[in-house]
Structure 1
Amino acid sequence: MAKISRKMEPRLARALSAYRVVVIGGPRQVGKTTLARELTGGRGTFRQLDVDTTLATALVDPVGFARHGATPRAIDEVQLGGDALVRAIKVQVDADDDPGQFLLTGSADFLTVPTLSESLAGRAVFFELWPFSQGELRGEPDGFLDTVFREPDSFREGPSSALQPEDYLEAVCQGGFPEALRLHPDDRGLWYDALVQTVTQRDIVGLTGARRAGELPRLLRLLAARTANELVASQIGADSQLSRDTLADYIGFLRMIYFTRELPAWSSSHTNRAKQRPKIYLTDTGLASHLLDADPVGLLDDDGARRGQLVETFVVNELRKQLGWSRARAELFHFRDRDGGEIDIVVERPDGRVVGIEVKSGLTVTGRSFTHLTRLRDRLGDAFVHGYVLSFSPDPLPFGDRLTALPISYLWQAG
């Protein structure tokens, strides 16, 4: 597979020139090490803590390890060095306020690892690197989030999409992990199994001491079956037979290693009856499809909920990736009120402006598809920027004031 440029690289390079510490988190095998090497470009010092001898040095003498070498000091899988190393980094940057001193990567969320008490607050900026986006894979702009707030009506006059339903479902099932993309679809299953085994039985156990780590792959499969649904702990607890406290901890562990993410419930003074449960999503639909034994042909014929869940997860993941380089400074939510009004994705900027998105895993979009978006538009008034229904339909179509149907491919083709 040819080298694929990462959309986040310019933003990370700028951060490295402005801040003392830059932290890149993300799942294993998404290319953090490769990106860190690209960013340092042969400058400074590069060390990998998943090399036993290097890790031993960091554990024995964390202060000396943090001081050693020219800047930028890139430390890969920093969480393995434990709290002592992170505190040593803090001491080092407190003594010297020059930017670009440390570039840290980690396959566990730096701020939620239970063995790390030092957050580097005020000294570090944090980024998340995810599996390849569709724009990265296809050489497209990946600018939907910026365009939607800047020129929301511009999509109405856009071209038809050349993608067919089977093309979207192929993209859903292949996901974005670089190594999985290199493999034939028949060979990806063993790779995903090895990834899950390594992360749950080695990484999580090493960082948390989880006593029933053997339950984590099964819990991950249960969450895959519920991707794009509200996180109802009682239901998952009944199926997993884990106690409430253990279940909460283990869901947190899967979030910590970037296998899952949640969309919080959105509310405002106009929608104060909103429910408060988050929706949970696996962060790669290739992994989710593997856990659910789903393939493009089967999903094309699927008349149940599975296709809809995976396609919505695919859209949410693409938007989350774009947050890494978007200028919009937006956050993602979902909305559902007690009257049954539900909107899959609410994108909100700090100034309170809102975009609503519904996701359909078919070709047909009608006026009824916009029912809840219309209600939200009427409640919010000028704060409502636009509402979109994304589907497999190839043509952009207006459906009234600030309401438009779009092909899903506009997510990465806009820019």
Structure 2
Amino acid sequence: MLYPRGIQPVLGQTVGARRVTILTGPRQSGKTTLAQQLLTELGHGTLRRLDDPALLEAATADPVGFVDTGERPLVIDEVQHAGDPLVRVIKQRVDEDDSAGQYLLTGSVNFLTAPIITESLAGRAAFLEVWPLTQSELSGSPERFIDHVFVHPNAARDLPDSTLTRYDYLERLCRGGYPEAVRLSPRMRSRWFADYVKTIIERDITEQFGLRKVNELHQLLRLFAARTSNELVMTAIVDEASVERQTVYDHRAWLETAYLLHRIPAWSRNLTARVKKREKTLIPDSGLAAWLLGKSPAALAKPTDPATGQLLETFAAAELLRQTAWADLEVSLWHWQDREGAEVDLILEASDGRVVAIEVKASASPTKQWFRWLTRMRDKLGGDFVHGIALYTGRQVLPFGDRLTAAPIDALWSLTSEGTATERLMRSPGAA
């Protein structure tokens, strides 16, 4: 099944404007499908997949001939398998010819961590990321929550009551967003996640970095998963894993390069003198995180399960992270915490310094206490504070003061490119 992707128009525009476009993201997130769709839309171009042993052998044996043949744009899928020589040839070609639309390179490793890519193609290439599916991509209409909440600060207040229950959210977070996995039954999805992690650790990372102690990496991934959406204290990981400190840092870097881990940096605007600088760690797909923790919707539905809150935050953070890749506004994702206990789960900061602050709650009954730190942030930031939203598992949108709103979690995918109900009404024929 083909899903409409929010990044798709951005990809087409970027390939049309830049000499080289580099499309990265987790394995099985849909990069190859996007590349194929682009060539279909263009009506020309060449696709070469380096997971084909014959094509990989050709690329490594004669990188010059491999690059010089084929109609443009030349799409090289999983380019990391061919190594540095192929990238150097591409650099030479785009230095000789500065026309746009020559190469689209895809890969399941984060090329921003690969010196040969960043150094050789600096200023020559545009980098785009493809993450697993968002909830609205799954339903057929990529959402614009980020753009709407910055442009129309009260947009969330215009949403109708949600039809989703708390259990519905738990099912969605356990399903995740990998295109192949979402179509499977829970039992088959569990097996898919097991195969997925095994392939990345025991093939991709081993091939890329020559790793041999794969059991250590499996163990560390689960330890990081237990801390998803929490402040990352590396000494605690080192102590629990009982391996050398440098090994833990190296393994974390490899897991990040393979998109099994992501960091959410700490945000600071001098709101207090005691801001914490530690990052949060994030498993960038809630379904994968739930599988790593051995959690099902039924288990998470128990009031005493401590993982429910952190997995719902992981679910919301992943939705926002995916949207930043195609939002019209340039927005980055942060978190905030100080040493006195004040914290805000997620912060969206636009390039002009404006901020949308978000709390994520597992409860279905909002309280004024949820807005304690959002209120402090609003009062400190003044006009730069666009809105503070507490996302929760209830059904009603409720105002809690100036620029403070409790909204169902599905607000993240209910603000689509069609706008809110009021915006649609104002655009309709006969509207005043």
Is TM (by shorter chain) over 0.5?
yes
TM-score of the superposed pair, with normalisation by structure 2: 0.93
Counterpart of 1:75 in structure 2 is: 76
Instruction: Compute the displacement of 1:291 (Å).
Output: 1.0
How far residue 189 of structure 1 moved from its aligned partner, in angstroms, is: 1.6
Name the residue aligned to 1:13.
12
Q: Aligned partners of 1:142 and 1:286: how far apart in 2?
A: 20
Identity rate, percent? 48
Matched with 1:245 is: 246
**1:111 aligns to what SS in structure 2?**
helix
Deviation at 1:141, TM superposition (A): 4.4
Which residue does the alignment assign to 2:429?
A: none
CA distance in 2, matches of 1:68, 1:18: 22
Q: Structure 1 pair 303/271, CA: closer, same or farther in 2 (3 Å)? A: same
Distance 1:117 1:65 in 2: 22
**SS, match of residue 180 in structure 2:** helix
Displacement of 1:43 = 1.8
Q: Distance in 1 between matches of 2:211 and 2:115?
A: 11
1:3 Cα offset (Å) = 2.2
| Kept after mapping to 1: 8 A contact 2:299/2:305 | no
- Other-structure match for 2:91: 90
1:159 is aligned to 160
Q: Deviations 1:130-169 (Å, cap 9, x if unpaired)?
A: 1111010112441110011101113223210101111111
Which range moves more in the overlay, 341-350 or 62-71? Answer: 62-71
Contact between 1:141 and 1:413, CA under 8 Å: does it hold in 2?
no
Whether the aligned pair in 1 keeps the contact of 2:276 and 2:339 (CA below 8 Å) is yes
Q: Once the 2 structures are TM-superposed, how far is the Cα of residue 391 of structure 1 from its aligned partner? A: 0.3
Question: Greater shift after overlay, 223-232 or 264-273?
Answer: 264-273
Deviation readout 1:8-31 (Å, 9 max, x if unpaired): 111100111100111110111111
Aligned mates of 1:182, 1:157 — CA distance in 2? 32
CA offsets 1:265-324 (integer angstroms, 9 cap, x no match): 000133442111000010111111111111111111142320001000000000011111
User: Partners in 2 of 1:263 and 1:273 — Cα distance?
Assistant: 19
CA contact (8 A) 1:201 1:214 kept: no
Structure 1: give runs of 5+ residues left out of the alignment: none
Give the secondary structure class of the aligned counterpart of 1:400: coil
Alignment of 1:335-346 (within 5 A): 335-346=336-347
In 2, Cα distance between the equivalents of 1:111 and 1:153? 36
Question: 1:323-402 counterparts in 2 under 5 A?
Answer: 323-402=324-403
Which residue number corresponds to residue 422 of structure 2?
A: none
| Cα displacement string for residues 319-352 of structure 1 (whole angstroms, at most 9, x for unaligned residues) | 0111111112111100001111000001111111
Q: What number of residue pairs does the alignment pair up?
A: 414
Partner of residue 113, structure 1 = 114
What is the aligned partner in structure 2 of residue 176 from structure 1?
A: 177
Give 2:282's aligned residue: 281
Q: Work out the CA distance in 1 between the residues paired with 2:152 and 2:19.
A: 36
In the alignment, which residue of structure 2 is the partner of 1:63? 64
Alignment correspondent of 1:40:
39
Q: Residue 191 of structure 1 corresponds to which residue in structure 2?
A: 192
Q: Distance in 1 between matches of 2:318 and 2:294?
A: 20
- CA offsets 1:245-280 (integer angstroms, 9 cap, x no match): 111110010100111111100001334421110000
Match of 1:223 in 2: 224
Ranges in structure 2 where 5+ consecutive residues have no aligned partner: 417-432
Q: What CA distance in whole angstroms lies between the structure 2 residues aligned with 1:308 and 1:358? A: 11
SS at match of 1:104: strand
> Is the 2:21–2:104 Cα contact (8 Å) retained in structure 1?
yes
Q: What residue in structure 1 maps to residue 144 of structure 2?
A: 143
The superposition leaves residues 154-212 of structure 1 with CA deviations (integer Å, 9 ceiling, x where unpaired) of 32232101011111111000001111112111111221111111100111111111232
Q: What secondary structure sits across from 1:404 in the alignment? A: strand
Aligned 8 A contact 1:26 1:128 in 2 = yes
For the residues of structure 1 that align with 2:271 and 2:312, how far apart are their CA atoms? 29
CA distances 1:348-372 after superposition (whole Å, capped 9, x unpaired): 1111111110000120111110000
Partner of 1:296: 297
Q: Give, in whole Å, the separation in 2 of the partners of 1:344 and 1:220.
A: 22
Q: What does residue range 250-265 of structure 1 map to in structure 2 within 5 Å?
A: 250-265=251-266
SS at match of 2:112: coil
Kindly report the root-mean-square deviation, in angstroms, between the aligned alpha carbons of the 2 structures: 1.3
Who is 1:411 aligned against? 412
- Give, in whole Å, the separation in 1 of the partners of 2:352 and 2:12: 27
Q: Which amino acid aligns with 2:347?
A: V
> Are the equivalent residues in 2 in contact too, given 1:22–1:103 (CA < 8 A)?
yes
**Does the 8 A contact of 1:166 with 1:300 survive in 2?**
yes
What's the offset of the Cα at 1:119?
4.4
C-alpha contact 1:87 1:118 (8 A) present in aligned 2: no
2-structure distance, mates of 1:303, 1:140: 35
Counterpart-to-counterpart distance in 1, 2:200 and 2:308: 27
Q: Could you say if the C-alpha distance between residues 322 and 117 of structure 1 is closer, same or farther in structure 2, counting changes exceeding 3 Å? A: closer
